[in-house]
Amino acid sequence: MTAAELRGDELIAERHLAAEPTRVWAAFTSPAGIAAFWGGSHATVPAGSVTVDLRPGGEFTLDTRAPGGASHRLRFVYAHLAAPHELVFDEPATGIRTTVTIRPSGDGGTRLTVHQRRLPPELRTPRAASGLASILDALAAHLRHHQPAPGRSTP
């Protein structure tokens, strides 16, 4: 399970993943990887809706679909990339800045931290913390069930 904690206008989630950092990076930076986990337990992300322009100033976009069928387009702009250890991106619609830190855990896995800053008041809730935790739990499940082919290091 993922631990997620609200601290004022910040939300911080941490998770150990049983996958090396390069696989975690690939999940966060490829359309197929993002579609596989981004919705967590509360939405799905159609694979064809994800676009990635992986460079500072580039963006990634995706559609989320709630169980009732409601769809929402999300857009994020990359501020900083340091493969395979750190991604920083902003959501222009809300002003949220997200920093994803990917570090080797020493056991062949990864220590993942997702730190969101500048959360608007309506997102400073236990529900938001639970939503981020479910996204990282979905990432863990994706990495566990989609092992790379022999000789490959990405999902």
**Whole-prediction pTM:** 0.91
Q: Which residues contact 122 (CB under 8 A, 6 or more apart)?
A: none
Instruction: Give me the pLDDT at residue 154, please.
Output: 45
CA 87 vs CA 21, 72, 122, 129: distances in Å: 12, 23, 25, 20
- Across the range 19-36, mean pLDDT stands at 96
What pLDDT score was predicted for residue 148? Answer: 63
Q: Which of 58-62, 66-70, 94-98, 112-116 comes out lowest in average pLDDT?
A: 66-70
Q: What is the mean pLDDT of residues 129-148?
A: 91
Which neighbouring-strand residues pair with 115? 12, 99
**Taking 80 as the threshold, does the pLDDT of residue 152 lie above it?**
no
pLDDT band at 155 (very low <50, low <70, confident <90, very high): very low
Is the dihedral angle over the CA atoms 144, 66, 50, 77 positive or is it negative?
negative
- According to CATH, the topology of domain 3-145 is Alpha-D-Glucose-1,6-Bisphosphate; Chain A, domain 4 (3.30.530)
pLDDT at 146: 78
Going by pLDDT thresholds of 50, 70 and 90, the confidence category of residue 42 is: confident
Query: What phi and psi values does residue 7 have, to the nearest 5 degrees?
Result: -135, 90
CA distance 16 to 95: 28
**pLDDT at position 153:** 47
**pLDDT digits 0-9 by tens, 63-80:** 999 988 899 999 999 999
